Each structure stands twice: as C-alpha cells, then as structure tokens.
Amino acid sequence: MHIYANDVEAVFERAVAAGATIMKQPVQESDADRHGGFTDAGGTTWWVSTQVD
C-alpha cells in the first residue's frame, strides 16, 4: 500500500509506536519525495511519502 501524507515522519512515528516493523526509515533520495516503509501487525506493508518541493 502506498499513500501520500503531509508529514511522513509523523505518520511513520505513530505507526512504529503502535507496533509496526520498520522496512525503511523515511529518507529523500533522488526523486522529489521523502518516503519510508513499515509493516503493520496484520502483515500489510505501507509506503508513506511526502512530496518535497
């Protein structure tokens, strides 16, 4: 699952605090998005991004 959010760090921190397993810490690589990934307790992997101008 991939979603865009206003603040990728806030979403990521809430998910990890709720027990999600980190797949990738939020980072900004070569594209214009800052993104990270985690897996929730039900086994769904989430990729969360914030567009960076």
pLDDT at 32: 81
Q: Which H/E stretch holds residue 10?
A: helix 8-17
Give φ, ψ of 45 to 5 degrees: -95, 130
pLDDT at 42: 95
Q: Which fold has domain 2-51?
A: 3.30.720
- Taking the chain (53 residues) in consecutive chunks of 10 residues, what is each chunk's mean pLDDT? 95 96 92 91 96 84
Kindly list the strands in the beta sheet with 45-51, ordered across the sheet, starting from the edge strand earlier in the chain: 2-4, 45-51, 33-39, 21-28
Q: E-assigned strands of the chain?
A: 2-4, 21-28, 33-39, 45-51
